[in-house]
Structure 1
Amino acid sequence: MPIVDLGGAERWTNYHGTGTAERAPRFALRSGDAERGRDELAAAARDVQDWLNAALGEGRRVRPLGAGWSPSNINIASDAWLLHTRRFNRCFRIRPDDLRPGSGADPAALMLVECGALVDEVSDKLEGQGRSLWTSGAGNGQTFAGACATGTHGSMVERGGIQDHLRAVQLVTPGGIYWIEPAAGVMNDAFIAATGSTALRDDEIFAAAQLGVGALGVVTAMVVDSVPKFLVRPIQNLRRVERAALDWLAAGDFRRFSATYALDRDPAFVQMIVNPYKPFTRPAMLRFLYAEPWRADYPRATAGELGAGYDALSLLGGLLDDYPWARGALLQYAMRLGYAAGPDVDDPPVYGSWGEGLDTHRPLANLFNASVTIDRADLAYAFELICAAYARHGGSTVVTLRFMKQAQGLLAPARFPDNAVIDFDGPRSARTAEAYARVVDLLDAEGIAFTRHWGKSCQLDAARVCTDYGEDYRRWRAARDRLLPDPAHRALFGSAVLDGLGLTDG
């Protein structure tokens, strides 16, 4: 299972075609055939550490790449050595005698996951064992490690981000191979030693490693937690939403919102996609998921029948730029065309597992992808202001609203006790980027606290990261410096983007 030199310094483009690394020597980490996961991790980690020290000796920076999913340039590093991890993707069960005595962990709930495994692959493996992830992003084409590293937000109203699933992380630096866990510990010392790692049970370092933004080292493996498998029933419809409904959402009265626009039940997931041009006049696309106990005899449905998929707006990019006077009407047409196909209240119910309701986007060239996360309590005041500013300055995407609890990890964007995540996803254009910048300026002018998704167009710098994350940012940097005490090692994992965010030393 050596690291394979893919040869040459070539151009690499991310999955959605929104960023390119020039003159990048490429390498690949590939799974072996060891029977036990701990043995495979020991060999892989040694190879990765040797590769890191070779890069250091050559004066090159490094960038691990999974699925290349992030539309931002967070994973772009020209002239760096690129390590493709996508084929290092095996998953292993954990035995009861692998756990640390007194940990209280359930071995049936845990799985050892190599860093290149996709969210989709992890979900499928768990569901085959009668288990499930409890949240994830709208798609499932990211590697699990990459989704955690960028703070991919979930959308379950009582859950946080995807990194909340992590119980342990194997992290490789030039100076060490570390098995990082909370202070209470999860895996026993014999297991950790067999992975070739040094045990590092430390709450602060674990909270940093849960969401490392690729700046702490190479994550080679994770222990992922799960819940018993469950069903979801989706409801998806177009409804005109009253302004008063924002007050219900801001207060967390999801039951009242659901009863008004879908079912009189507590929803597990609430999403509202609005046309920022007259958001309370034109119908919004509403999506609800209702969790139900697992039963094996439910009628199977396709991802499309379950309402998955968010790609319709990519078809209208040229029209939205060419005919700015018609943006509102064209956006509404796209919403009717692409987002209203899911089952409504009066349709026969359809059901699926959590994983079955997710889909992998096809690559979306010319994608604009940005978001802000605010305290849910600010929603009623902020949302209409945001839509008005975005429309006034020519934004050419819909505006999507979802909800989640505070996420784990020191640099988690969902850092408020209750969060409203507002996404601006659709065709890329200069007008749309300018409109998003004006939204950010407006929030600052109004004194509304917010954060931005690390994997999207975030328009951040080090000063702003320090302001947004405050003491947690200082704690993250302190944890980084303990893991990487040598400034040369910190610089090794950097890039122009990460240096500019104050996460690495350039």
Structure 2
Amino acid sequence: MPALNWSKTPHWRNYHRTQDRSQVDTAKLVPNGAPLGAIAALRQTAAQFGFVLASAARQKLPLTALGSAWSFSDITKNNGFLLHTGLAQHIWQVDAADLGPAAVHRDRMVLVHGGTTIHELNAFLEPDLSLITTGAHDGQTVGGMLGTGVHGSVLRYGGFQNHVRGVHIVTGPGESWWIERGPMPWLASATAAALANHVVLEPDLFDAALVHLGGLGIINAVLIEAAPGYVVDVVRVKHPLTAASIGLLEKGDFAAFAREVWAPSREEPYYIEVILDPFHPYAGYRGAAHNALITLFYKREPDRSITRSLAANGASVVEAAHETLNLLAKALSAQPEQDLLLPLPQAVAWLVAQEFHPEPAAGTVPRRMTWGKANGPHVRQEILGWDIELYNAAYAIERQHLTTTLKTMLDAFHSNGGGHQVFTLRFVTKAAGLMAFTRFDDSVVINMDGLRTLNSSDAARNVALALERTAIPFSQHWGKQGVITSTRVARDFGSPADPTTRAGRWRAARYRLLSPAMRETIRSDALSAWGLA
């Protein structure tokens, strides 16, 4: 089990190098001793987290708990302590005796340390069990995923947080909470009481914790309900994107869209992603149709005789079908800017297309992969030798208004020459959590992925302003680089001062869970700027 190591980090940067700090007081979990059982292990890390919180509070400094530090936004920014939770990464299959009556599928329940990466979780679950959806990066930690409400593009499903049935959150020295929705418990009452000194089954408190924004405490563990193991057939095509095909996506006729872009399709896919070049939008808006980069997954029952080999082998490095930023970074690392024949803004989409390899070949069957292999592994940039600063803003909009919204966004993108980006469409339904940025029943997340340049940030800012001018509802990803303000938070989630709004209910949970001293300690610059602290 891990122990705490204290040090002063000379220079700290988050994963995407959007935050820089010098001489940072850092607490880090390091290996120490033999593995423990679930409850003993979680009690130990909870005590360690509480000790760090007490130290920060004594010095009147804020504390940020980090997983893989993936987020682009200011959500990890403050002037105080850093706590690295990366070694809190154990996973336990929960014994049936430790489960409550709500856990009907008792063989699917796992208790997961907050510092566990999605890569580790996939490896633990597969091939007999599987996650239903994840984000575009399997190096993110479970606690970090809940921090910003990470989504995928599985049709008819929400975000990663929709898997969660219980949350263990540390809120101070000697203080932790086990939180579930209720009314019946998922974790047996005695087991929960052995883990935390507060055990509550309350929908609002649970829904607040599902997207905690780093402001409710330190996520020590979550109880996850996995799905039965499955595999996906992977299809990647370059196909003209038309106004009619966008209309099919807007209506939710995903089966018809899939048939249009891949003739062998006879069913609704499990997953759809569309990458489009904003400089050559689809026919009916500006110019001729262009080839969009489209990924489809088809869910299949596993063949047990081959699934174990699929879980052990599979995707090569950076083959994750939907990791647009990785495609771009890989292309640019091998293609210096001065060698490009196109102006750089237009060249970004061209470069992404060069790294997008259609499959399957005509007359062959699609590759069949487990979910974890089809969505990973992500390999850290320093290992691959990349030195490229990437930009990503993400907007959740209502699917029923996709055509109008996309036109507005593309017009705004072009208003000052455009950015160094591509647009990526992903689909989310009924995401859990009070502060899920995918707050619409049927959301389309439109990512602006590309290079970190002034053009890119200006283009994203223009898009947000255009959506506001035309009164199109949208929300921005908490972990990305859009401009989130307290005014926009209040517009999208209601006033934090009103206890009946989403933001007000989330803030009430913060005041319920944290003492005044801990509210000063567990905060970030972002929470203050958003009006939520």
Residue 325 (structure 1) shift: 6.9
2:278 alignment partner in structure 1: 276
State the AA in 2 paired with 1:313.
Answer: L
Which of 152, 156, 159 lines up with 1:158 in the alignment?
156
Give the match's secondary structure for 2:75.
coil
1:380 alignment partner in structure 2: 403
Give the match's secondary structure for 2:461.
helix
Q: Distance in 2 between matches of 1:328 and 1:40?
A: 50
Residue 388 (structure 1) shift: 3.0
Please tell me whether residue 105 in structure 1 is matched to residue 107 in structure 2.
no
1:265 alignment partner in structure 2: 267
1:188 alignment partner in structure 2: 188
Q: Distance in 1 between matches of 2:362 and 2:209?
A: 42
1:417 alignment partner in structure 2: 441
Q: How does 1:151-300 map to 2 (within 5 A)?
A: 151-174=149-172, 176-184=175-183, 185-262=185-262, 263-280=265-282, 281-298=289-306, 300=310
Residue 244 (structure 1) shift: 1.0
Quick one: structure 1 residues 500 and 221, their matched pair in 2 at CA, closer, same or farther if it must change by over 3 Å?
same
1:428 alignment partner in structure 2: 452
1:438 alignment partner in structure 2: 462
Quick one: structure 1 residues 320 and 457, their matched pair in 2 at CA, closer, same or farther if it must change by over 3 Å?
farther
1:353 alignment partner in structure 2: 370
Q: How does 1:437-456 map to 2 (within 5 A)?
A: 437-456=461-480
Q: Distance in 2 between matches of 1:230 and 1:345?
A: 25
Which segment drifts farther, 337-346 or 89-98? Answer: 337-346
Q: How does 1:479-494 map to 2 (within 5 A)?
A: 479-484=509-514, 486-494=515-523
Cα-to-partner distance string for 1:410-430 (whole Å, 9 max, x where unaligned) = 000111111111001121100
Q: How does 1:311-330 map to 2 (within 5 A)?
A: 311-314=326-329, 315-316=331-332, 326-327=343-344, 329-330=346-347
Aligned residues of 2:5 and 2:30 also touching (Cα < 8 A): no
1:303 alignment partner in structure 2: 315
Q: Distance in 1 between matches of 2:344 and 2:406?
A: 19
State the AA in 1 paired with 2:208.
Answer: A
Q: Distance in 1 between matches of 2:468 and 2:196?
A: 47
Give the match's secondary structure for 1:4.
strand
Aligned residues of 1:401 and 1:422 also touching (Cα < 8 A): yes
Aligned residues of 2:74 and 2:525 also touching (Cα < 8 A): no
Cα-to-partner distance string for 1:193-228 (whole Å, 9 max, x where unaligned) = 222432122111110011101110111111111100
Q: Distance in 2 between matches of 1:116 and 1:334?
A: 34
Q: Distance in 2 between matches of 1:443 and 1:451?
A: 10
Aligned residues of 1:135 and 1:161 also touching (Cα < 8 A): yes
Quick one: structure 1 residues 397 and 361, their matched pair in 2 at CA, closer, same or farther if it must change by over 3 Å?
farther
Aligned residues of 1:277 and 1:388 also touching (Cα < 8 A): no
Quick one: structure 1 residues 312 and 291, their matched pair in 2 at CA, closer, same or farther if it must change by over 3 Å?
same
State the AA in 1 paired with 2:161.
Answer: Q
Residue 502 (structure 1) shift: 1.9
Which of 332, 350, 356 lines up with 1:333 in the alignment?
350
Q: Distance in 1 between matches of 2:211 and 2:360?
A: 35
2:530 alignment partner in structure 1: 501
Give the match's secondary structure for 1:240.
strand
2:52 alignment partner in structure 1: 51
Quick one: structure 1 residues 344 and 135, their matched pair in 2 at CA, closer, same or farther if it must change by over 3 Å?
farther
Q: Distance in 2 between matches of 1:461 and 1:322?
A: 39
Q: Where in structure 1 are there 5+ consecutive unaligned residues?
A: none
Q: Where in structure 2 are there 5+ consecutive unaligned residues?
A: 283-288, 495-500
Which segment drifts farther, 206-215 or 329-338? Answer: 329-338
Q: Distance in 2 between matches of 1:482 and 1:308?
A: 39
Q: Distance in 2 between matches of 1:207 and 1:248?
A: 32
Quick one: structure 1 residues 342 and 501, their matched pair in 2 at CA, closer, same or farther if it must change by over 3 Å?
farther
Q: TM-score, normalised by structure 2?
A: 0.89
Q: Distance in 2 between matches of 1:297 and 1:391?
A: 52
Q: Distance in 2 between matches of 1:70 and 1:44?
A: 23
1:474 alignment partner in structure 2: 504
Which segment drifts farther, 151-160 or 65-74? Answer: 65-74
Residue 181 (structure 1) shift: 1.0
Give the match's secondary structure for 2:428.
strand
Q: Distance in 2 between matches of 1:220 and 1:306?
A: 28
Give the match's secondary structure for 2:396.
strand
Residue 108 (structure 1) shift: 1.1
1:362 alignment partner in structure 2: 380
State the AA in 1 paired with 2:64.
Answer: R
Which segment drifts farther, 339-348 or 34-43? Answer: 339-348
Residue 145 (structure 1) shift: 1.1
Q: Distance in 2 between matches of 1:439 and 1:292?
A: 38
Q: Distance in 2 between matches of 1:418 and 1:487?
A: 38
Aligned residues of 1:71 and 1:367 also touching (Cα < 8 A): no
Please tell me whether residue 403 in structure 1 is matched to residue 427 in structure 2.
yes
Quick one: structure 1 residues 320 and 381, their matched pair in 2 at CA, closer, same or farther if it must change by over 3 Å?
farther
State the AA in 2 paired with 1:190.
Answer: A
Quick one: structure 1 residues 361 and 439, their matched pair in 2 at CA, closer, same or farther if it must change by over 3 Å?
farther
Q: Distance in 2 between matches of 1:28 and 1:70?
A: 19
Residue 346 (structure 1) shift: 4.1
Q: Distance in 2 between matches of 1:233 and 1:411?
A: 33
Residue 306 (structure 1) shift: 7.0
Give the match's secondary structure for 1:435.
helix
Q: Give the fraction of aligned pairs with identical amino acids, expressed as a percent.
A: 29
State the AA in 1 paired with 2:405.
Answer: A
CA RMSD of aligned residues (A): 2.2
Q: Distance in 2 between matches of 1:25 and 1:117?
A: 23
State the AA in 1 paired with 2:206.
Answer: F
Q: Distance in 1 between matches of 2:196 and 2:2?
A: 16
Q: Distance in 2 between matches of 1:430 and 1:233?
A: 39
Q: Distance in 1 between matches of 2:167 and 2:403?
A: 39
Give the match's secondary structure for 2:126.
helix
Quick one: structure 1 residues 308 and 411, their matched pair in 2 at CA, closer, same or farther if it must change by over 3 Å?
closer
Aligned residues of 2:27 and 2:52 also touching (Cα < 8 A): no
State the AA in 2 paired with 1:5.
Answer: N
Which segment drifts farther, 461-470 or 219-228? Answer: 461-470
Residue 336 (structure 1) shift: 3.0
Quick one: structure 1 residues 12 and 466, their matched pair in 2 at CA, closer, same or farther if it must change by over 3 Å?
same
